[in-house]
Structures are given as structure tokens and as C-alpha cells.
Amino acid sequence: MRTTLLVYVMLWLFVSHSLAQTRHWQQLSVDAGLSQNTINTIFQDSRGFMWFGTQNGLNKYDGTGFSIFKNRSTDSASLASSDVYSVYEDHDTNLWFGTRAGLSRYHRESNSFSNYDLPQKSCYAMRPVWAIVGDSDKEHLWLGASGGLFRFNRRSGLFNHYRLNDSIQNANSVRTLCRDRQGHLWMGTSVGTLLRFDPASARFTPVSTNHPDAMGRSPITAIRRDGEGHMWVGREDGTLLRYDAPSSFRLYKALQHRFPIRALGEDANGNLWVGTDQGGAFLLDKQADTAVPLHDGPPRDGTDVILSFCRDSKGDMWLGSYRGGVFLFDKTDTAFTQLAPYAEIKHAGESNSVLAIRRDGGDLWIGTDGGGLVRKGMEGTTYYKKQRGGLADNTVLCLAKVDHRLYIGTYTGGLSVLDLTTGSFTTYDKHNGLGDNSVWALYPEGDLLWIGTNHGGLQLLDTRSNTFRSFTNTLKNPRTISSNTIRCIYRDSRQQLWVGTVSGLNVFHERNGTFTTYYHDDGAGSISSDNVVCMYEDSEKNLWFGTHGGGINRYDYDTHTFTSFQEEDGLAGNIVCGMLEDEQGFLWVSTNRGLSRFDVRKKTFKNFDTHAGLASAEFNIGARYAGGDGRLYFGSIAGVTSFLPHHIRENTFVPPVVITDFQVFNKPLLPMDKTREVTLNHTQSMFSLRFAALSFSHADKNRYAYRLVPFDETWIQAGTTNTATYTNLDPGTYTFQVKASNNDGVWNEQYASLRIVITPPFWKTMWFTVLLCAVVTGGLYAAYRLQINSLRRRQRALAQLVAQRTTEIEAKNKQLLESERRHAQLVNQQLNDELAAKSQELTGSTLLIIQKNRLLDELKTKMKDLLRSPGSNNLRDFRQLVQLINYNFSPEKEWMEFTLHFSRVHGRFLDTLKNNYPELTNNDLRLCALYRIGIATKDIAAAMSISQASVKMARYRLRKKLGLTPEEDITAFLEQI
């Protein structure tokens, strides 16, 4: 604890040597929605909400807004009084409030109050209730009030009144109350009496301090038990006492007769905080008996009177002030130190806007925008202003040190050189070799000094010979520098000299005096802006370029391309002012909109602004410096921001997530503190929910994600928006879930949930459906029964008619069927007779043709034999007869005539065979036709002019083509086609 206090003290001592420092307080006032700026009491309940009791209302705070409760004379369920002095939460998580008009109990489920008071006829009215503590039996409350000490039974609502001293006016007024570890109640009165009350015996015991300097009747204004069990007593005269058991007190005089004590608090490290009247808040050094103020300079803006303290679950301290609102002290916001060159700007020649920084030993050199050059050292502060023989201009743009000389680049006066041993100035300007009197960049290399000017290009000064060499832009030569307006110069580890201008990034080739320029274009891999204002090479040899409007760029030596990181990637601002690397490898980037810490490996940013303790979020180009002790310096329009990066702590607090409001058509439906389910009807088609992460440090940076199951398939990333709205959902059961992170991105994955039931309209309910089905079924059944009865009657009549008609029809059908049968038999007989006659005719014709052919063939054979016989006469006539026989004996012609007759009798028999068996030849078809009409084998041989053996062979091949088995008869098969 001693070490922790020393840290606070050292922080304060460092601040006391600075000319100005920005407070690390986050303030809530009426401007933020608070009902009133005088904070009598502060309390955090078990759910994580903050409560502020003011002189005009009770405020419940969730980090995003306030719910305000006040007394309404027409509402008995409202707060007893709008003037609230004390808060207590019992073991059942009921909240009790001490007010000017008595005791109030808060009902979370209805946002209403039950109020308790003694009857008005009592001469010791329980108004106001200054303090509340719980009893060890968990059933009673102890109240310190203007009329004395009261014991309140939470079950019955009855009071027991204990008077302190009726002999002295106001002696019964108990302004502060605290219970020690033994269960005794310590209380202080308005007349300075310190009493200890034993609940078991109901006896008061005066407590003597035994210190002459603590004697007197100064009212006791604060009593607190610390973490070690010591009782602390604060008095109106500034006296502070610590009770060490069994009976000794230690007196602390650090604030005695200086500031009245109004409140006592204890932080997570056991440090005692003392709130005073007109002195603000102090930290007590218990060993040295000194009090370290926690304000900046003279107390102001409501921080001079502190009425209350509260340590929240994260460990941060809340301070309630008189007319200043609430102040939150976040221990993670104490890393940044702000130094202002001028404590107060009184003249035109003074400025806190810092353009250049350099540390040399114990001296910090600061170049200002119009306020000259400032040196801050242990011996005090020295100001260098523009004068003849001195500093050339009051606007200092850059600084560089070579040996015992400090080079100072000015806005209009050229380059001033301060001899640190003699304190004398010399100046280089356009009259003695400098190309332009506006010097924006300096880069020393031994006896050489590179100088970047605003209009004169790049120059190299040889400090031994005081000679200049200039490099300027020539429009006709692309190998010259791209612009004469220089903003930064840097030599990397590869010995390349880089020059940033407002119109391109240049690499200087010293061997031939030429430049290679990189410009921005629309293609991938180019630098993000032509206006390059700063450069830095990190410990991993990555080369970084800061631009005006394009963020930061990392250069790739192998591909000569750039990778940019801008606002959309998380950078605080695209106008980059400076870059430095810390010992942990993070790259710090100052911008026009805050300070960014860039994790180069993870490619993530964490940003800092005025809420994190910066005096200003707007930094100046080129104003940065890395100290040898690891401290980094950046210049802004409000001074110098310095810090040790490893002292910057992350907010690791996992925030509770709560659903704070449920609205239907933008009107609150019901309190949400204890609500787990909401039921809506189908007309409530639009509803919205409000939620909060109960992490109060920079609560505006808390982030949220939500979903409505099963409507939303994935989590909706809402950013810092803490509301969700849904419209026109189908009836059903849904679960709304929300999770949140704190300002540093630490998420609470334990989401808050709310069950939402949307009931359907009555015509879509189950009971209506069942009833409707029953009615419809009953109606249908009745109609069905009527129809059945009607049908049965009609059926009986119809059956009779049908029977009669059926008899008649059957008789007629029999006659008709008999007639048709006879006609069909006659037609079939005629067809069969005609077919048989035609078949017989065809068969006979075929047999005649066969017989004729056979006869002609025999005759032709005999005549050939006669012709071959010797001595035959009339050879000529025989030959003519043979030729005539050959002419009349034409098998093909006869086959065509046969086919014509065959088709007339047997239709498309041959065509069907061709289609079904395309591999059949003409001879096969002839054979099939002859078999179809029943021609014998020998006659087939004669008809086809082949032997009977050949017919058998042809039939064998035909059976195979037709796919017949040996058991199948070919003639029967062909008759079926």
C-alpha cells in the first residue's frame, strides 16, 4: 500500500513541476443528464448500476444514460423526497434510501417506492435520514437521522428510537454512521461528540481521543472503517483520527485547520481518500502525515468540495462534488503527462502549441507555434524569443543537436544555431546561403546537416566550411527531386536517404545526384498519398511513412510497394503527425484526431483521446521525440504529451451486461430489472430494446453484439450502439441475447437474455382453430346427415326405377346381343369363307405355277439333251424353242406376281417381317410366305428352283434368324404374325 501511495505521490510531484496538466477525471453533470450537480451520496448496487443521490432527485446510471426518480406529491409510490443523502443494499438486494423526508425502499419490479417515517407528532422527527447501515441479524437497519439513532425492522416496518443527548441542542443529530468489526456502531454528531453504540445492551459510550489537538466541539462529518479494520474519523476542522484497537487514536494534522473534511473513502490499494470543503480531494500518506491533492492546481469546476466517495467493482473511484457533478477517477488513465510551455496564455507572443521536441540530458527543449523556444530543466524554465542576435523567429518547426550546437528550424527566420556553451545565436538565411527561410526538416549526419525547406528544396550544410549544396526540382528533368516543399528527411539502415515532400516520396542517389520518386496512383501497392510528412524505421527494419490524409504506409524493399493503414483500419486519423516505436514493439502514431498504438504483428490499433487523459487529440506534424529512458513525447496544440508506454494499462474488467429498457412503439412497456419474459400481442408489431455494459470508464466506447433467436442467424455487431429494434415478427417465442465489451475490447461472453413471446391473433390461436374445426365439423356432419337421409330417400325411389328399367334393358340387351352375335357370326363366316377361298385360290395358283415351272424345266432339259445329241435335225428350230421357254420362264416375274396376290390376302405380313427382322433376305421372305400358305418342301424346292436339301438348309438358317427353338414350329410361328 505504501508503494502504491508513493506512485501517486511521484505522479503528483512530477505534475507539480510541469506548467500545466490535464486532469484524469471523467465528469458527469447535468449536461450529461444528471438531475442535479450536488452529489450527496454514491453507491453501486449488486447488479452493477451506479446510484447518485442529489439535492434534486435520485439517479440510476448504466453508462449510457440516467433513470431519474423524484418525489411527486400526488404519487404515494414515488420517492419520499428528492433530496437523497444515503443508500444501502440489504442481503436480499433491496435498496434503501435515506431522504430528507424519511426512509424509502425501492421496488425494482415496478420502479416504485415504499416510504417509512415516524409519526409527525414525535418531537424527534426522523428527517432527514443521513446514514444507513445494516444490522448483523440481516433483519434490521440502523439509521442515523436528525432526531437520533433508529432501528428499523424490515419485516414489520416498525422503528425503535434511541436518543443520544437531550440536554444539548442538535446533540441527537447523527450525521455519519459506521459499524466496526465487533458489530458496534460508531456515530458522530453535529456537536463534535464521538459515540460508540452496543446494539446488544442498547448503550451509548462516549469515545475519547486523548489528543489535546483534537479536543473541542468541531462537528464529526465522516467515519469510515478501512480494509484493515481501523476506524477513521474526520472532523469539520480538518482533523483526521485513526482508531487503533484497543483504545488508542493517532492524530493526522495534514489537513487540520486547512480544509473541513466532508467524506472519507478507500481505494482498491488501501489508500485513504479525503474529501474536503474548498480543498478538493486528497490522498493521505499515513506514514508521513501528508496529504497529496488530486486536483490540478487550484480547485475549480466543482472539484473544490467533495461530499462523497465510492469504489466500484472495477476498482475505480467515484467522487461526488458540490455543484460539480460526479467525477470518475480511472486508474488506467493516469499514464499520460501533459506539459504546457505556458501556464496561462496572457500575450500574443505566448503559445502552448508544440511543433518540435528534443530532450538533451535533463533539459527538454520545446519549439512552439509563435511562443518561441522553451527549455525546461531542473533549474527552471527558459524562454527564447525572437530578437536581434538571438532566435530568428518565434515559430520553431524543428530541432536538431550536433555536438554543443542546437539547430533550430524556424517558420520565417531561417535556421538559427544556439551554442549551448556560450548561449549565443547565429543564423543561416537566404542572405548567407540558405535556399529558403522556412525550415521544416533537419537531419544531422556528423559534420553534415540535411535541411528541408518549404520552397527551397533540399539542402546539405557542411558545418565545417559553412557551405551549402542544393537539390531542387527541375520540371524538365524527372530525375530531380519531385517538389521543393520538403517535410521530412531520413536515412534508413540500408543507407538510403529518403526525402518526403508534399508531392511525392523521394530516394536520393548520392553517387550521381539523382532521385527516384514514388507517387500515389489508383493501382494496388502505391503509397496512399503524395504528401509525406514523417518517416520511421522500426526495430524489425520496417520502413514506415506517415502521410497527410492517407494514414501510414509500410514499404516493401523487395517489391517496392506500399501497404497502407488508414481510419477504416482503426487508425485514429488519416493526417499523421509523427511515429515512434516503444520497447514492446508497438508503433505509436500521433494524428489530428488522437494518438494510436499500432500492433504491427496483429495489425490492430488502440486509440487514445482526451477521455484517456490527453490535453488535446490534435497533434502537430513533426513534433515527436523518443527519450532514452523509454519515455515518448508528442507535441499537440495544447502542449507536450509524454508517457512511458509500459505504464499504460489495459482495462481488463469484464463488464456485466444488462437489458435496461423495453419499448413498444417507442413507449416503455415495463421495468426490466427483474423481468425475464415479455409477452406481446400481434398488434404490438414494433418493439425496441436498450442495453448497457456496466463498465463506466469511457463507456461511450463500449461495444455490443446482439441477436434474436431464431430470427437472427448470426450475432449482429452493433458497435457502440446500445439499442435494437424489430418490426413485424411472426407470432412465436423468441430469445433476445446481448453481449458487450468494455472500452478496451474485453468481451463478456455471458450474454444477457430476455424471452419474448408474441401471441397470435385469436383467429390464429389453437383454441380458435379447435373451436372452428368443431363448428365446421358439426355443421358438415349435420349437412352430411341431411344429405344422407335425402340420398337414402332418393336412393329407394331410384332403386325401384332402376330395377324396372334394368329389367327392360336386360330384355332389350339380350335381343340386341343375340342379333349382334348372329350378325358377327355371319360376317366372320363370310370373311373366313372369303379368306379360305382366296387362300385356296392362291395356293392353287401357286401350285399351278410350280407345276408349270416344273414342266417347262423338264421340257427345257430334254430339249437341251436333244441339242447335244449328234445328228440332230432342226437344231435351229430347237434353239428358238429353248429361247422362248427361257423368256417365258422368269422366276422373278412370277415372284412379283405372287407377292402382289399374297399381300392382298395376308396384308402387311412381309412388311412386318422386314421391320421385326431386318436381317432377312428376299429368299428368306419368299420362304416365309410359302410356309405361311402351307406349301410342302418339295414344292418349295420346285418354286424356288433349288433342291429339297437346299430348302432344308435355308429353313435352318431362317429359324436361327427368327430366334426359334427346335421345339417351335415355324409354320405356326409365321401364322401368328
| pLDDT computed for residue 295 by the predictor | 74
Sign of the torsion angle spanned by Cα atoms 844, 850, 854, 856: positive
Q: Which CATH architecture has domain 890-977?
A: Orthogonal Bundle (1.10)
Asked if the 385-647 domain carries CATH number 1.10.10.10, the reply is no
532 in Cβ contact with 488 (< 8 Å): yes
Cα(615)–Cα(393) distance, integer angstroms: 26
pLDDT band at residue 356, thresholds of 50, 70 and 90?
Answer: very high
| pLDDT computed for residue 887 by the predictor | 60
pLDDT at 910 over 90: no
366 in Cβ contact with 374 (< 8 Å): yes
- Give the pairing type, strands 486-491 and 497-501: antiparallel
Give the phi and the psi of residue 29 in degrees, each rounded to 5: -140, -170
| pLDDT computed for residue 21 by the predictor | 39
| pLDDT computed for residue 256 by the predictor | 92
Q: What is the pLDDT of residues 808-822, one digit of tens each?
A: 888 887 888 787 777
| pLDDT computed for residue 922 by the predictor | 83
| pLDDT computed for residue 939 by the predictor | 79
pLDDT at 11 over 50: no
Give me the amino acid identity at 324. Answer: G
Q: What is the pLDDT of residues 232-245, one digit of tens each?
A: 999 999 999 999 87
Cα–Cα distance list, 752 to 181, 505, 715, 804 (Å): 37, 52, 13, 84
Can you spell out the DSSP letters for 151-177?
Answer: EEETTT--EEEE---SSSTTTT-EEEE
What average pLDDT does the chain have? 88
Cα–Cα distance list, 380 to 18, 383, 738 (Å): 10, 10, 55
Residue that the C-alpha cell 488530486 belongs to: 294
| pLDDT computed for residue 195 by the predictor | 93
The residues that bridge with 581 in the sheet, in sequence order, are 587
| pLDDT computed for residue 290 by the predictor | 94
Cα(639)–Cα(616) distance, integer angstroms: 8
What mean pLDDT do residues 299-318 have?
88
Question: Strand runs (DSSP E) across 665-758, as ranges?
Answer: 667-668, 677-680, 686-693, 703-709, 716-719, 723-727, 732-741, 747-758
3-class state of residue 365 by DSSP: strand
- Give me the percent of the chain exceeding a pLDDT of 90: 64
| pLDDT computed for residue 340 by the predictor | 94
26 against 852, higher pLDDT: 26
In sequence order, which residues have a C-beta less than 8 Å from that of residue 832 and are 6 or more positions away? none
Q: Tell me the three cell numbers of residue 535.
A: 518517416
Can you spell out the DSSP letters for 123-148?
Answer: SS---SEEEEEE-TTSSEEEEEETTE
| pLDDT computed for residue 15 by the predictor | 36
What mean pLDDT do residues 241-251 have?
84
- Give the pairing type, strands 677-680 and 747-758: parallel
Q: What is the pLDDT of residues 75-124, one digit of tens each?
A: 999 999 999 999 999 999 999 999 999 999 999 999 999 999 987 565 55
Q: What is the pLDDT of residues 510-564, one digit of tens each?
A: 999 999 999 999 888 999 999 999 999 999 999 999 999 999 999 999 999 999 9
| pLDDT computed for residue 14 by the predictor | 37
Equal CATH topology for 2-333 and 890-977: no
pLDDT at 840 over 70: no
CATH of 2-333 given 3.90.1720.10, 2.130.10.10, 3.40.50.1820, 3.90.1150.10: 2.130.10.10
Superfamily of domain 657-759 in CATH is: Immunoglobulins (2.60.40.10)
Q: Tell me the three cell numbers of residue 145.
A: 437521522
pLDDT at 886 over 70: no
pLDDT band at residue 718, thresholds of 50, 70 and 90?
Answer: very high
pLDDT at 187 over 70: yes
Cα(406)–Cα(400) distance, integer angstroms: 6
What mean pLDDT do residues 433-438 have?
96
pLDDT at 297 over 70: no
| pLDDT computed for residue 321 by the predictor | 96
| Angle between helix 891-906 and 909-916 (nearest 10) | 100
Give the start-to-end residue ranges of the domains of the chain: 2-333, 385-647, 657-759, 765-882, 890-977
Q: What is the pLDDT of residues 602-611, one digit of tens each?
A: 999 999 998 8
pLDDT band at residue 67, thresholds of 50, 70 and 90?
Answer: very high
- Model pTM score: 0.73
Q: Which of 357-366, 380-389, 535-544, 777-786 has the lowest mean pLDDT?
A: 777-786
Give the phi and the psi of residue 49 in degrees, each rounded to 5: -75, 145
Q: Tell me the three cell numbers of residue 366.
A: 520545446
| Angle between helix 891-906 and 922-932 (nearest 10) | 50
pLDDT at 8 over 50: no
3-class state of residue 732 by DSSP: strand
Q: Tell me the three cell numbers of residue 173.
A: 443529530
3-class state of residue 606 by DSSP: strand
Q: Tell me the three cell numbers of residue 646.
A: 509500459
Q: Which of 130-139, 252-261, 572-581, 833-842 has the lowest mean pLDDT?
A: 833-842
